[in-house]
Amino acid sequence: MCDLFEWANECLFLSQMTSEKPPLPADGQRDEAEPGLGLEPEVTMETARDGWDSKVEYFLAQVGFSVGLGNVWRFPYLCHQNGGGAFILLYVLLMVLVGVPLFFLELAAGQSIRQGSIGVWRHISPKLVGIGYSSCVVCFFVALYYNVIIGWSIFYLGSSFKYPLLWETCPTEGNGTVKECAASSPTAYFWYRKALDITDSIDETGEFNPIITGCLLAAWVIVCLAMYKGIKSTGKVMYFSSVFPYVVLLCFLIRGVTLDGASEGIKFMFYPRLEIWADVQVWRQAATQVFFALGLGFGSVIAYSSYNPRNNNCHRDAFTVSGVNLMTSILATLVVFAVLGFRAKTIATECVKRIYYTEPLFANKLRKTTIIFCACFVQLGVEGTGLAFIAFTEAMTLFPGSPFWSALFFLMLLNLGLSTMFGTMAGILTPLTDTFKTLCNHKFLFTACSCAVGFLIGLMFTQRCGNYFVAMFDDYSATLPLIIVVIFQTFSVAWVYGADRFLEDLKLMLDRPVPVVYKYMWKYVCPVAMLGLLGASLLKMVLERPTYIAWNREKASKEDLPYPGWALAVLSTLIVVAFLPVPIGFIHSLLLERLGQSPADAEAGYMPCATTDTDQTPLDTLPPSAGDPSSFSPLLEENQDTHLQNGHIEHFQSSAV
């Protein structure tokens, strides 16, 4: 054994010289040789856990995941529908009271335990392991339909390299314009008929759309290539995918504010209507937007932070990433309102011109008011894909050099979607590879198979009725399960592990005290807010039958249709399947206790992948506790060996083999 430890120390010294850490034997993980055979003990080797190459890569990854398509189309829509500046104030309030504390909790948990979501909550208590599995299931559901939206962006990006744009004018049929296009608009016709070739309802399946299927395949290939080396490859991609959207947004803002009507649109954005604060549904929408904007409950925040050195200032990161997310939402809303204000002013001018030929006196009177402008602008309140693929694309047809601006816009959407998709996939791959050693040893194969399965299941979204399934997954597969997951997460840290104990751990980890206000946020404010959001969401589902927006080909217009019975069964199944791992994990842990297995035996059954810390933390950044220089916080003690080498503490987490 002495020779063994001498070999280990020599390897430690060489690793500091070469910046490579060789695998080290894990204490207690060797097989005893049979007596009399003269065999040396067999030692299990561990490889170091991956880490970010730089803090910039980590920051861009967190920002890229949290800043997504919702910042560009959902936040502007909610701002328009719910009082403009009043909604922004409400959003900021909920971001400070709920968003930042919960975001900080996930950052700190992942960084301290250095595991994915499964390992983090199993570490807190084996009964809570189902929380991590629920996060993985929700991430998988989201990845299925989110990559379809990326495929749509690829299709529009390819269609932007034509002049004039294909959705700029209506196609002709015989001696006239296509009836469906003339009754709606060129952009709506191109979206519903050329891009989606959509059916009239979710009951009509239709055949596959070959072009969108090819775009979906391309999207999954891009994701696979960016993820196949884990964060080593993802981090490099983030330099472009996270930064480029801001360049495009600034270009659109500069171009937008110079357009006629942009100032009216921006005024409409900031005009406050504080009476909307009395509407419970507005609070629900603001809280939901905060919830999804920061990516809470997905496990992706935990996954990314688990690759950080333990003395990283995650408290500062929580405020920085949240602030960037908020500023991005406001910047995107400025761009959207400026461009759509220009579109509305153009439509209003055309309205006045048409009226002028029939009622000149009435038209002159309207010129002195904003009645038509306001009426036209309210009609722009389309949500989600409609804002990006219909209203905004129509506005860009009015720009000089419209193909350039169109290509720039959809390239921005592509990068926003991909950066969020990388984080979503990390929320699946990291917890599972940390938990199961076989998957850890075959990361590339596991990543490729996951993407292949995602593509095959995603074919359901490339049918002619696929857009309706996208809406179903977007509305119901993530919202309720994620709210429940975050409630359990907060309860686990604040009450099961203990808020005071967790704050003390963070003080040791960060070498600075954490404001005690977080204790009350985690124990009272956040749970009450999340329970209120859950109650409001459930109440809305019970009182209002779920509906979806369908496109009627004969009427050439949208209409709200109730989901049929089988669709209600599907969306209910999605919610149950996403939440089911939580009670299953709890019951499984109770059964293990009844069978007499110790917690150590139960945890050993997971056979977690190696999570050796690659950072070298100086002694002065981790103060000793109780006078013991090698002591660590309770959260960090489990499964750790501590080696002192050249004035640094190195951490090695062993896995049960």
Per residue in 59-84, pLDDT (tens digit) is 999 998 988 888 888 888 888 777 77
User: Minimal CA–CA distance to 465: which of 210, 209, 214?
Assistant: 209
Determine the Cα–Cα distance for residues 89 and 274; give it in Å rounded to an integer: 9
| Per-residue pLDDT at 339 | 83
Tokens found for residue 428: 């699946």
Tell me the mean pLDDT in the region 226-248. Answer: 82
Q: What single letter denotes the amino acid at residue 399? A: F
Determine the Cα–Cα distance for residues 328 and 321; give it in Å rounded to an integer: 10
Q: Where are the alpha helices (DSSP H) in 127-279?
A: 129-159, 179-183, 186-189, 210-227, 231-241, 244-257, 262-270
422 pLDDT above the threshold of 60: yes
Determine the Cα–Cα distance for residues 295 and 25; give it in Å rounded to an integer: 37
Q: 373 with 290: CB under 8 angstroms?
A: no
| Per-residue pLDDT at 632 | 39
| Per-residue pLDDT at 92 | 92
| Per-residue pLDDT at 546 | 87
Tell me the mean pLDDT in the region 516-542. Answer: 90
| Per-residue pLDDT at 272 | 73
Q: What is the pLDDT of residues 357-380, one digit of tens each?
A: 555 555 555 554 444 444 444 444
Determine the Cα–Cα distance for residues 141 and 148; give it in Å rounded to an integer: 12
Alpha-carbon distance values, 119 to 70, 129, 314, 427, 636 (Å):
29, 7, 19, 12, 13
Mean pLDDT over the full length of the chain: 79
For residue 161, count other CB atoms closer than 10 A to its CB: 11
38 pLDDT above the threshold of 50: no
Tokens found for residue 411: 């390239």
| Per-residue pLDDT at 107 | 94
Q: 298 with 142: CB under 8 angstroms?
A: yes
135 pLDDT above the threshold of 90: yes
Q: How sure is the predictor about 36, in pLDDT bands with cuts at 50, 70 and 90?
A: very low
| Per-residue pLDDT at 583 | 92
Tell me the mean pLDDT in the region 282-309. Answer: 89
Q: What single letter denotes the amino acid at residue 218? A: A
Tokens found for residue 142: 């989201």
Q: 196 with 148: CB under 8 angstroms?
A: no
Cα end-to-end span (Å), the chain: 20
Q: 421 with 258: CB under 8 angstroms?
A: no
| Per-residue pLDDT at 322 | 93
Determine the Cα–Cα distance for residues 178 and 187; give it in Å rounded to an integer: 13
Residue 269 vs residue 98, higher pLDDT: 98
Determine the Cα–Cα distance for residues 2 and 51; give it in Å rounded to an integer: 31
618 pLDDT above the threshold of 60: no
16's enclosing H/E stretch is helix 2-18
517 pLDDT above the threshold of 70: yes
| Per-residue pLDDT at 141 | 93
| Per-residue pLDDT at 158 | 93
Determine the Cα–Cα distance for residues 326 and 503; give it in Å rounded to an integer: 26
Determine the Cα–Cα distance for residues 234 and 429; give it in Å rounded to an integer: 13
| Per-residue pLDDT at 592 | 86
| Per-residue pLDDT at 292 | 86
Residues with Cβ within 8 Å of 118's Cβ and at least 6 positions away in sequence, in order, are 129, 132, 133, 136, 431, 432, 434, 435
Q: Where are the alpha helices (DSSP H) in 580-639?
A: 581-594, 599-604, 634-637
Tell me, rounded to whole angstroms, the distance of Cα 430 from its chain centroid: 15
Percent of the chain with pLDDT over 70: 78
Tell me the mean pLDDT in the region 114-128. Answer: 89
Q: Collapsing DSSP states into helix, strand and coil, what is residue 160? A: coil
Q: What is the pTM of this model?
A: 0.80
Q: 307 with 55: CB under 8 angstroms?
A: no
Tokens found for residue 216: 């979906």
Determine the Cα–Cα distance for residues 16 and 647; give it in Å rounded to an integer: 12
Determine the Cα–Cα distance for residues 7 and 11; give it in Å rounded to an integer: 6
Domain layout of the chain by residue ranges: 5-605
User: Minimal CA–CA distance to 339: which of 417, 407, 399?
Assistant: 399
Q: What is the pLDDT of residues 373-401, one digit of tens each?
A: 444 444 444 566 777 788 788 888 888 88
Three-class HEC string of 280-340: HHHHHHHHHHHHHHCCCCCCHHHHHHCCCCCCCCHHHHHHHHHHHHHHHHHHHHHHHHHHH
Tell me, rounded to whole angstroms, the distance of Cα 78 from its chain centroid: 18
Determine the Cα–Cα distance for residues 453 and 457; give it in Å rounded to an integer: 6
Residue with tokens 């060797």: 30
Tell me the mean pLDDT in the region 96-100. Answer: 93
Annotated binding-site members? 64, 67, 71, 325, 416
User: Minimal CA–CA distance to 481: which of 366, 578, 572, 393?
Assistant: 578
Q: How sure is the predictor about 654, in pLDDT bands with cuts at 50, 70 and 90?
A: very low
| Per-residue pLDDT at 315 | 93
In degrees rounded to 5, what are phi and psi of residue 628? -105, 115
Q: What is the pLDDT of residues 442-467, one digit of tens each?
A: 888 999 999 999 999 999 999 999 99
| Per-residue pLDDT at 276 | 81
268 pLDDT above the threshold of 90: no
487 pLDDT above the threshold of 60: yes
Q: What single letter denotes the amino acid at residue 558? A: K
Residue 640 vs residue 428, higher pLDDT: 428
Q: How sure is the predictor about 352, in pLDDT bands with cuts at 50, 70 and 90?
A: low
Annotated binding-site members for Na(+)? 64, 67, 71, 325, 416
Tell me the mean pLDDT in the region 473-482. Answer: 86
For residue 19, count other CB atoms closer than 10 A to its CB: 7
Q: 114 with 419: CB under 8 angstroms?
A: no
- Lowest-confidence range among 245-254, 259-268, 286-295, 310-319? 259-268
